[in-house]
Structure formats: C-alpha cells, structure tokens
Amino acid sequence: MNPLTREMIDAGAIDAMVARDAPSVRILSESERRDSLLRTLAAKPRDDVWVFGYGSLIWNPTVDFVERRVARVTGWHRAFCLATPAGRGSLDIPGLVLGLDAGGCCDSVAFRISGEIVESELAMLWKREKILFGQTATNLP
C-alpha cells in the first residue's frame, strides 16, 4: 500500500475509499467539514497551533509544520478504540484504528503549524481525519 500523500487527500481518495467500502455510511460534505474547521478556529487565538500525532500522523503527518517535538498528553492513552468500515474492515466487521482513549498518558510527537498557514493545513487534516458523519466506534451500522 502506498503511503497517504497530500495529493491523495486533496483529490478525495479517503472519501472515495469510504464510499466504495461502506456505501451506506454518510460522509461529511465539504461544507460540513469547513463549518467544523471554522468552529474550531473560532475557539482559538490566531497564532501557531500544535497538533498531537498519536497514530499515522507520527510518521506521515501530511501537513506542513515548522517544528516537531516529543510530547506527552496526560489523561489519554493510545488504544485501538476507533472502528472503520473502510480500508481495514467492513460494515459487518469494522477494522480497528488507533485513537486516544480516556485515562493514563501518551508519549508521542507534536507538530507546530505556523499561524500563517494554520487554516489551510488544518483543512488538509480535516479532509484526512474528519470523514464520517456521526459515526463512532460504538455506533457503526
């Protein structure tokens, strides 16, 4: 399997994979993703943003960053607690992927995104990570 690239994300490869593997699952529209991103941006000052990578973001962040540091988040631990019907599983037997679950702590990597490009880089991250409407590990069909 080829590593995920910015070009693949931008071209809609993740949405296409989900649509192919789980056609009954509702994928967020571009406007829904944009609204989510704008709500997130409204809740923070307009400066640099740190993104904590706990899964594939560690080795393949696909966002432009100005700094990378070892980081720890307390109150959460890395676990295979998210289910996906696409790519690694099916609607009948969803595959598990890494997420952060309550309790403990997690050592990983954090990426600092410059405030000058934070909106475009988080938009890329939203296209990569915010795919399904209202779906969690516990309520996949």
Residue in the block written with tokens 């959460």: 76
Q: How far apart are CA 132 and CA 84, in angstroms?
A: 9
Q: How far apart are CA 107 and CA 128, in angstroms?
A: 22
- Asked if 100 and 78 count as a contact pair (C-beta separation under 8 A), the reply is yes
Q: Is 7 left (phi over 0), alpha (psi -120 to 50) or beta?
A: alpha
129 noted as active-site residue: yes
- For the annotated catalytic residues, the residue numbers are 129
